[in-house]
Amino acid sequence: MCRAQEEEDERYSEAVRRRPELGLEQKCMKCKERSAVLIIRIGDAFCKDCFKEYFVHKFRAMLGKKRLIYPGEKVLLALSGGPASSSMFQQVQEGLSRDAPKKLRFVPGLVHIDEGAVRRQSLKEREKMVAEMESVLKMSGFPYQIIALEEVGRYRAVIQVFNLPSSVVQWVSKDIPDMADDYKAAVDGFLGHHTGVENAESGSRTCVQTKLAELSIEEPEPAASTGTFCLPSAQSTQALKQLFDSVRSLTAKEELLHTLRSHLLVHTARAQGYSKLMLGDSCTRLAVKFLTNISLGRGAFLAMDTGFSDRRYGDVVLVRPMREYSLKEISFYNQMFLVPTVFSPALNSKPSEKGSIHQLTETFINKLQSDFPSTVSTVYRTSEKLNVASSVEGPESVSAARCLFCLCPLDTRVEKASAFHATLISEHLSQRKSLDLPEAAVKKCCAESEERRCCKKPAARGSTTSRADERLNLLDLLCYGCRVTTKDLTTLDHLPHYVRSEADHRTHRTAMKKEIQEFLLHENADLEYVLKT
Amino acid sequence: MEVATRMRQNRHTLMLLARGCASLSLATEARPESNCGCAELLTGGGGGTWMFWRNLNTMPVCCNSCLEKNAVLKRPKTGHSLCKECFFTAFEEEVHQTIMSGQLFQRGETVGIGASGGKDSTVLAHVLKVLNERHDYGLALLLLSVDEGITGYRDDSLETVKRNQQQYDLPLKIVSYEELYGWTMDDIVKQVGLKNNCTFCGVFRRQALDRGAMILGVDKICTGHNADDIAETVLMNVLRGDIARLRRCTAVATGSEGAIPRCKPLKYAYEKEIVLYAYFKKLDYFSTECVYSPNAYRGHARAFLKDLEALRPSTILDIIHSGEHLSVKEDVRMPVQGNCSRCGYISSQALCKACVLLEGLNRGLPKLGIGKHQKLHHKLLAQEPLTEQERRKLKVLDL
């Protein structure tokens, strides 16, 4: 076992030994006056007031230290109703209240996504849960919106919106310098830009919005301020259920749900001009997610998937301010200060420990945590030390191909000595009779898939494309992790329209590009791709 | 003896295969003269294996690859059904691919195969010999074994290695802890007890292999680490927060850091497929757990990985893919590699771990090398005496 861990465990046992007999008469280790009510970490006893102060301070300190959110910026809080996000919601409310010492200065909005259709809830149950959620959201006085997951089926152009304009991405990288090199300048820049946009009604942001308005759908958006929830049509619920029924494994279902939810959240943020999206992932949650994502083959994106900020969408930045709280702390806080939470059922009907990789990992981490109390913090600290793969970041990434599902830069263009190629070889070798030299085998693998979407049939969109081809084409557009998920889909027919049409579109563009390759002056003519619409 | 080993091995193979059957169902070996449509013959299997054979398909399945013969197994890695010959070809070809794409060897090199007598190293030795002839790598292969001095475990497994030496006609060199360090593992356990003994064994073995290789003058060492081992190590390093090892543990070859470069040609081979290969090739290998209980913490990671594999067989390679694509922040402090000032072996400290452990053993302070005691290194180097308090801390508590 690791030395660091051994030491920590040693310290733990020492702390346990040193700890005076626990009892009601023990004093808070901070104010040393009031009697302690709970123990956080190892042997640190806090009274109720000091615990609250500690909890509140941690939230502000996190946001203050990272300096990512600007005064007056519109921030959308994604609330599931679970303990962590409810606690985050409460912290924001607290921080914005008039008598808060270091007042938060952003403009919050709330969004809840109702996933009842995939969580096997009846209409009645869903209505009840939505009503419960609504009453919680209403009290805050912030603008809020409750959206059904079925909405993903409505948006025909979400993905195109995602990829929108390189101008959006460039704008981001230009105006918001990385981290707090010069926060003040960044804030000034932000404010200047903000008013500029509002006054002149020009600039990329407005551009995005007009485009969005054009692209999005027949039905008008619900009013920006407060969206009253209307149950989705039975038809769209059916379509969503069909999609999830076509997924073979619970693991893939969880991943698919995560993908669709992210799309919907980012779309909502964009449509209403929010530039930050706050997620309530706790430290415990992130440690589980970290290990889960490693098992899912998403190692290249760990920094994005579990880091404090996530810029994969360009104009909407994901922020995780709850990442230093353990789930235990959060639960204690919620219970002591009566933070309302809303329960939502799990994805599978029969809860079991070994249903999906997600559940398996969660059970594993929790079990280990009870034996080795430093597990979660160690995994969390490991995640702190990673960043987005260098090959994947940098100026080229603006135009580099991104995964159709998760918007991460593709990690499948790798050299031959890799696990990815090893799987291709294995699949090739165990399928058809082949006495080819394996050298050729790999080439053949690639060549074949290219041949299939070859330029001879560029207009193969629609009826003439066979299913196998469509699958191959789709896989080509995905990162390693999303490929693995897609392999568990029995059919692609039920994927939301925007995903399929964008896949078609990209495949078509690749074919076109191949045809004109020799006339292109820059290898990097993908910029043109981004500007196409 | 021979028979007893065989039987034990056979039972072990079946046990290994039966474990986590969800992803692996082994069809029976077809009769040599049988063709598609012919009834299948059950081989092997005593009473204890009945559960295992029960899950067989009664209908013969055609091999997915040659489309002619009856399939005898379902590949744990891909789920395809293959006949024996196609499986051998695929397995060997994949190892060949790993060797070629990773440029593991150069023509004319002498390569030492770390041989423990277990399934991985036995299969590695066999496959390397076959590939070396088939593809004319031009390598001189030899077997390299370490005798830790564990009665009832290593002495038996070394017998297997000696048989392998004759079967494969490869030279064999055995280096022992006793000659290198003056301690056998049996003696160490007597002093240290069963708690941290694996630390001693692991650290000493790494060096012993290098020293043996130096004695033989080999250019490279290759070890039988399989895909499961590597995935497990990735998980372990995450759980331990060992970022430096996390970054390098998926490398197929480690060159610059050590005295002699090492590589893992079975990096992408599933443990289950290695067992299948050994089983169908009827390879002679030794299979007993070490008598000094296995490392408990690693056991957690191992059990977790098995559960993951049962849910989704590709997980093992998925984890390796993840490990290959991790990217560490530039500002994270990494240990700087230097050399041990006593023995000259690579070390990030003034004294290498093996020297500290050895010093602890010789001074009767076995905990010297367990945990962090770098502050004491200069005292050790200067041969200064330790204070009574320090001594007390480093002794084993007698319970």
Task: List Cβ<8 Å contacts ≥24 apart for B239-243.
Answer: B239/A368, B239/A375, B239/A378, B239/A379, B239/B297, B239/B301, B240/A1, B240/A2, B240/A4, B240/A5, B240/A378, B241/A2, B241/A4, B241/A5, B241/A378, B241/A379, B241/A381, B241/A382, B242/A2, B243/A382, B243/A385, B243/B328, B243/B332, B243/B334
Burial (Cβ within 10 Å: 0-12, 13-18, ≥19) of residue A150:
buried
For residue A98, pLDDT beyond 50: yes
What are the C-alpha distances in Å from A497 to residues A221, A369, A493, B247? 18, 43, 9, 40
**Amino acid B268: pLDDT:** 95
Alpha carbon distance B287, B117 (integer Å): 8
Q: Write the pLDDT tens digit of every residue in A308-341.
A: 988 888 788 999 999 999 999 999 999 999 999 8
β-bridge pairing B253-254 and B262-263: antiparallel
Residues from chain A that touch B319, judged by Cβ atoms under 8 A, are 294-295, 297, 299
Alpha carbon distance A433, B67 (integer Å): 7
What is the number of helices (H) and of strands (E) in chain B? 16, 10
Mean pLDDT in chain A? Answer: 75
Q: Write the pLDDT tens digit of every residue in A378-399.
A: 999 888 888 875 544 444 444 4
Query: CB contact, 8 Å: A291 with chain B?
Result: yes
Q: Which of A95-99, A153-157, B118-122, B358-362 has the lowest mean pLDDT?
A: A153-157
Q: Which of A341-355, A362-376, B346-360 has the lowest mean pLDDT?
A: A341-355
Q: Which candidate, A112, A158, A269, places its Cα nearest to that of A205?
A: A269
Query: CB contact, 8 Å: B297 with chain A?
Result: yes
Q: In a 3-state reduction of DSSP, which class is residue B109?
A: coil
Q: Which of A443-452, A468-477, A520-529 has the lowest mean pLDDT?
A: A443-452
For residue A222, pLDDT beyond 70: no
**Higher confidence at residue B334 or residue A527?**
B334
* ipTM rounded to 2 decimals: 0.80
Alpha carbon distance B243, A386 (integer Å): 9
Alpha carbon distance A347, A331 (integer Å): 22
What is the number of helices (H) and of strands (E) in chain A? 21, 8
**Amino acid A162: pLDDT:** 36
Domain boundaries, chain B: 2-62, 86-324, 351-394
Domain A38-217+234-397, CATH among 3.30.1540.10, 3.30.1330.10, 3.90.79.10, 3.40.50.620: 3.40.50.620
Asked if A421 and B101 come within 8 Å (Cβ–Cβ), the reply is: yes
Buried b (16+ CB within 10 A) or exposed e, A51-79: beeebbeebbebbeeeebbbeebbbbbbb
Span A160-173, average pLDDT: 32
One-letter amino acid identity for B180?
Answer: L
**Amino acid A171: pLDDT:** 29
Return residues 349-378 of B near A (CB < 8 Å): 370-372
Q: Which of A429-433, B60-64, B110-114, B267-271 has the lowest mean pLDDT?
A: A429-433
One-letter amino acid identity for B342?
Answer: R
**Amino acid A12: pLDDT:** 57
Query: Residue written as tokens 């027949």?
Result: A218
Query: CB contact, 8 Å: A478 with chain B?
Result: no
Q: Which candidate, A256, A240, A280, places its Cα nearest to that of A481?
A: A256
pTM of the entire predicted model: 0.81
For residue B67, pLDDT beyond 90: no
CA angle B13, B19, B22 (to 5 degrees): 125
**Amino acid B317: pLDDT:** 95
Asked if B327 and A387 come within 8 Å (Cβ–Cβ), the reply is: yes
pLDDT tier, B22 (very low <50, low <70, confident <90, very high otherwise): very low
Closest CA–CA distance from residue A289 to any residue of chain B (Å): 12
Q: Write the pLDDT tens digit of every residue in B166-187.
A: 989 999 999 999 988 898 999 8
Most confident of A165-174, A402-411, A494-503, B76-85: B76-85
Q: Write the pLDDT tens digit of every residue in A416-464.
A: 788 899 988 888 888 864 444 444 444 444 444 444 443 334 444 444 4
Closest CA–CA distance from residue A7 to any residue of chain B (Å): 7
Architecture of domain B86-324: 3-Layer(aba) Sandwich (3.40)
Is the separation of the CB atoms in B298 and B102 below 8 Å? no
What are the C-alpha distances in Å from A466 to residues A300, A404, B365? 32, 20, 72
DSSP state string for B244-285: HHHHHTT-SEE-TTSSS-EE-TTTT--HHHHHHHHHHTT---
**Residue among A5, A388, A429 whose CB faces B90 most closely:** A429
Alpha carbon distance A386, A306 (integer Å): 10
**Which of B239, B276, B298, B348 best probes binding to A when mutated, by most A CB atoms within 10 angstroms?**
B239
Alpha carbon distance B14, A413 (integer Å): 39
**Amino acid A167: pLDDT:** 28
Is the separation of the CB atoms in A334 and A86 below 8 Å? yes
pLDDT tier, B348 (very low <50, low <70, confident <90, very high otherwise): confident
**Residue among B87, B235, B297 whose CB faces A1 most closely:** B297
**Amino acid B390: pLDDT:** 72
Span A81-93, average pLDDT: 94
Asked if A425 and B65 come within 8 Å (Cβ–Cβ), the reply is: no
Is the separation of the CB atoms in A485 and A475 below 8 Å? no
Closest CA–CA distance from residue B70 to any residue of chain A (Å): 14
Alpha carbon distance A526, A522 (integer Å): 9
**Amino acid A97: pLDDT:** 84
Length in residues, chain B: 399
**Higher confidence at residue A62 or residue A389?**
A62
Classify residue A47 as left (phi > 0), alpha (psi -120 to 50) or beta.
beta
pLDDT tier, B291 (very low <50, low <70, confident <90, very high otherwise): confident
Q: Which of A62-71, A80-89, A176-185, A324-333 has the lowest mean pLDDT?
A: A176-185
User: Which DSSP helix (H) or strand (E) runs through B142?
Assistant: strand B140-147
For residue B18, pLDDT beyond 50: no
Domain boundaries, chain A: 38-217+234-397, 419-477+496-532
Span B217-234, average pLDDT: 94
Return residues 300-329 of A near B (CB < 8 Å): 300, 302-303
Q: Which candidate, A395, A401, A407, places its Cα nearest to that of A506?
A: A401
Query: Residue written as tokens 């060797």?
Result: B99
Alpha carbon distance A246, A487 (integer Å): 11
